[in-house]
Every structure is written in structure tokens, then in C-alpha cells.
Amino acid sequence: MVKSIMVQGTASDAGKSIIVAGLCRIFKQDGLKVVPFKSQNMALNSFITKQGDEMGRAQVVQAEAAGVDPDVRMNPVLLKPTSDRKSQVVFMGNVLCDMDAVEYHEFKQQLLPKIKEVYEELGSENDVIVLEGAGSPAEINLNSHDIVNMGMAKLVDAPVILVADIDKGGVFASIYGTIELMPKEDRARVKGVVINKFRGDVALLQSGIDMIEELTQIPVLGVVPYASLDIDSEDSVALVQKSRRFDTKKDLDVAIIGLKRMSNFTDFHSLEIQPDVSVRYVMPGDAIGLPDLLILPGSKNTIEDMDYLRESGLEKEILHCMEQGVHIFGICGGYQLLGKKMSDPLHVESSIEEIAGLGLLDAETTFKAVKRTTQVKASHEEHELEGYEIHMGETAIAAGVQPFSTITIQNGEETVRSDGAIGHGGQVQGTYLHGVFDNLNWTREYLNKIREAKGLEPIHDKVITLQEFKDREYDKLADILRDSLDMDAIYRIINKEE
């Protein structure tokens, strides 16, 4: 029998993903082979595995915390919104089709046999699986076709702990309401409650904890404090919480355009941890100003986002930045936007067949029916870079234009092909490499060039590896959870002794 525990939440952004990551780290520290699992994820932040499969970033973070390679079986279904009504359905790492919410609601039950199969495969290879739900199990209009909350828990007979976010207020009402809206059978699966993101003295909560335990007959397993951790978050709610202002205590102002269909904002976590960098997001209504570095991120709908830049006036601001000597960098869709033209003859992204880009790179993009999903190594000047590609477009650069890098390894196999483009003496650069800033030695060198252009001394401190940095943060998270949760009770829940 597969040993497991499932983390569900009273709402989105209750902290399910981070609790799963922390539990994975604890179980790893305790000598167990552990993997995360989320049957269905909805996010525009994704990752490409060594096998070339696309999966959600949250399960990648959790796999890192567990000390294992990301595996698409940990997230068999990924939904990537392409508009307000439709999503691209990625199943077992590959694009299945685009569906609207009604179509997918009726279709998703057909995916359950394969979901159960890969779950059982993971169970046979590991000691414990930590599952994550999505949103809330009390979405009573969706529960009849659920495959990610109680539907998944029932499918694999997993015990559940419920996480509630006290920072938003109304935590006891959310706990009680969620549990009361569950059918009796589902309620019996909930073996414990965790109160998350608490600020203050836990003693002040005790009377409320006593009452909610009395009302629900479910124990509170602990109160997790609000913690400052540098761990990737893929949730769109996390983007809303990102800074929109320059921290004047830092040397470099890095502005990222908040595109309407922005994807993979996790690309910039490595910039956020740099000691001299202030990262801010330019959201609707904000002015770009004159940052030291302006970044155009990935996009799930580049043509729609080019329209957004034009209609909002941001295009003029970007071109003004160019005239004023601001360094400009584009990743994936952002690279496509920097080019002269984007064509969509097959209507992959839009009903618009052609649109002019920003024209800052002599490059043109044509959207194709097949998505490129590759994990790669590339050479850039004297650096070897690692990253991954996720894009439907193919970009051709004009003769004489310098590529950003040369791809040398693709999904483990040797190759030679160019990537990206450099223009205007290096002031404007674009690449398809997601995760390019995770190459910290190159990142430090690139930032130092911007520092020197600003008249600042370069920083030559020893660069901690990204893996060392992440391991430190995962260990810190594990320490917080060990101090906050009744881990003995959690082990008893896993062993079905409670």
C-alpha cells in the first residue's frame, strides 16, 4: 500500500505548496524516499524536465525540497490559461489541446486511469507521497467531477490535512465552513488542520483553537508563523504581492513588464536574491520610468501582449528607455516582442495573422503548431548556461545579427543551433532560455556590466551556487515546520494510526 498524506487548503494561496515542500524536506531529512504529487495544476509558470516534459513549477520546487529530479508523473495535468475562457491542456508533459472550462470539466474524468497509474508507479518507487490539492475542496459546484482534491484523495485513499491562511482574516470561519460543506465521507478523511501565516503570540489563538476542535472534532496540528523565505512561488496571487517600487537602498533598478499573459515570472527569483538589485513589476497603470535594466518576460499569448503594450502606451515608454540607454532583456515571449514582426498563419495564438513587434532586434517570429519543450545547455561567450525552452514560435534573425547563445545539448543529446539575438552593441538582448538568470556567475557578470555603465564598482564577492541557496531555504522551511507542527501526529496520519 502506498503511504501518503494530502495537503488541501481552505482557499487558493493558503500555503499548500509551501507546506508540501516543507514536509518533503522533513521526510527527506528523516531518511525517507519522498516525492510530491499534484494531479492537476493550473499555472502559467512551468518547467521542462530532463526528458523534455512540461510540468508545473510548484512540483519542481517540491521535488527539489525532496532531493529528487522533477518528474512529469508528479504533475500529470497542467492547465495553462490562454484567455479568460480557455486553457491549453498539457497531459503527461505534452500539449493535448485547448479547451474551455465547460469542455474540460466534462472531459477530465477520462484522464483518471492514467493519473492513478502514474501515482501508483511513484508509490512503488518511494516510501511516501505528499499530495497537494488545488483551490478548495469546498467548491461544491465542481466536486462531482473533481480529480485534484477529495476526488483524488478518494481515488488513492489518502488522508488529508487542511491548511488555512490566518493572514487574510476569518480563519476559523474558513476552517469551519470548508469542513461543513464537505460530505460526511470527505469530512472523515480530514485528519488535521494547520493554521498558516500567523503573526503574533500563539497563546492568543488557543481559545479559538479549542473551540474549532470542539466544533469540528478535528485536531489542529499546529500554527505556522508568517516567515520570510526565498522560495519560488508559482501562484498568480504571489505576483500581486510583488513589489511595484524601486527600493532606493539598492544600487540597480530592474523593472519587469507585467504582461497580461505573463508566464514564468519564476525566471526572476534569482535576480530578487541579488544583494544590489531591486526588482519591481510594472503593472497596468504604472510607469516604467528609466530603470537600469528593463525585462520583457515570457508570455502565453505574445500577440495579445503586443496589443497590450501598444494600447497601454507602454510601447512608447519601452522605446524611450531604449533611446535613453536602458539595458533591455527579453525571455521567450519577451524576446519575440523585441523583434520586428510576429506571424501566426495557423492561428495558434490569435485570430490576428501578423503584428509588428517593438523592432529593437532584427528578428521575426512565426508561430508553429508544435511546441518546443527542451532542457538545454548553451554556450554564451565564456559561460556555459543551463535553461529550458517552452515556446510555439520559431524566430529567425537577420544575416549578421549576433545570436545570444549556441545550444550545445538538447534533452541530453548533442546539437548545434543558435538561440536568441543581441543588438545595439549589447544594449538589447533576447533569448528563449527560461532560467537564464539562474546561472549566477553569468548573471553577476551581466549585472556588473550594468553597474559599470552606471559608474558603480563591480561586485566580485564569491557567488553562492543556486543549489546551495535553495538548500539553505528548504532547510530553513523544514526547521520552521518542525517547530510548529506535531510531526508525531503527522507520521501517525501517514501510517493510518489516527
Give the CATH number, domain containing residue 384: 3.40.50.880
Identify which of 327, 331, 319, 411 has the alpha carbon closest to the alpha carbon of residue 374.
411
Q: Residue 236: its pLDDT value, please?
A: 54
- Amino acid present at 232: D
* pLDDT at residue 141, rounded to an integer: 86
List, as one string, the DSSP characters of 307-368: HHHHHHTHHHHHHHHHHTT-EEEEETHHHHHHSSEEE-TT-SS-S--EEE---SSSEEEEEE
Q: Does residue 197 share a domain with residue 126?
A: yes
481/218 Cα distance (integer angstroms) = 19
321 is catalytic: no
Q: Are residues 421 and 377 in the same domain?
A: yes
Q: Does some domain include residue 407? A: yes
* Shared domain check, 484 and 336: no
Are 478 and 436 found together in one domain?
A: no
**139-198 pLDDT per residue, tens:** 888 888 899 999 999 999 999 999 999 998 899 999 999 999 999 999 999 999 999 999
CATH of the domain at 72: 3.40.50.300
194 and 167 inside one domain: yes
**Does residue 304 belong to any structural domain of this protein?**
yes
- Asked if 332 is an active-site residue, the reply is yes
Using alpha carbons, select from 142, 133, 44 the residue that is nearest to residue 102.
Answer: 142
Tens of pLDDT along the chain (498 residues) come to: 789 999 999 998 899 999 999 999 999 999 999 999 999 999 888 999 999 999 999 999 999 999 999 999 999 999 998 877 889 999 999 999 889 989 998 899 999 999 999 999 999 999 999 999 998 998 888 888 899 999 999 999 999 999 999 998 899 999 999 999 999 999 999 999 999 999 988 888 999 999 999 999 999 999 999 988 878 775 555 555 667 888 899 999 999 999 988 888 889 989 988 999 999 999 999 999 999 999 999 998 999 999 999 999 999 999 999 999 999 999 999 999 999 999 999 888 888 889 999 999 999 999 998 889 999 999 999 999 999 999 988 999 999 999 999 999 999 999 999 999 999 999 999 999 999 999 999 999 999 999 999 999 999 887 778 889 899 999 999 999 999 999 999 999 999 987
Question: 389-432, pLDDT tens digit by residue?
Answer: 999 889 999 999 999 999 999 999 999 999 999 999 999 999 99
Q: Is the dihedral of CA 134, 140, 143, 149 positive or negative?
A: positive
Query: How many independent structural domains does the chain possess?
Result: 2
**Cβ(360)–Cβ(322) below 8 Å:** yes
Query: Is 155 within the bounds of a domain?
Result: yes
Q: Is residue 237 part of a domain?
A: no
Q: Are residues 412 and 350 in the same domain?
A: yes
Among residues 269, 380, 391, 434, the one annotated as catalytic is 434
Distance set, CA 497 to CA 7, 19, 25, 220, 490 (Å): 18, 22, 22, 17, 10
Q: What is the pLDDT of residue 234?
A: 57
Instruction: Identify whether 460 is part of a domain.
Output: no
166, 274: one domain: no
CB of 417 closer than 8 Å to CB of 405: no
Q: Are residues 198 and 100 in the same domain?
A: yes
- The answer to whether residue 462 sits within a structural domain is no
Residue 239: inside a domain = no
Same domain for 477 and 448:
no
Same domain, 445 and 476: no
- Whether 482 and 431 share a structural domain: no
Residue 288 CA neighbour count, 13 Å, CB half? 28
Domain that holds residue 285: 252-455
Q: Which of 24, 332, 380, 391 is catalytic?
A: 332
User: What pLDDT, on a 0 to 100 scale, did the predictor assign at position 263?
Assistant: 84
User: What pLDDT does residue 107 have?
Assistant: 92
Residues 222 and 326 in one domain: no
* Whole-number pLDDT of residue 240: 58
Backbone angles phi, psi at 15, to 5 degrees: 110, 20
Sign of CA pseudo-dihedral 247, 253, 254, 256: positive
Query: Does 286 map to a domain?
Result: yes
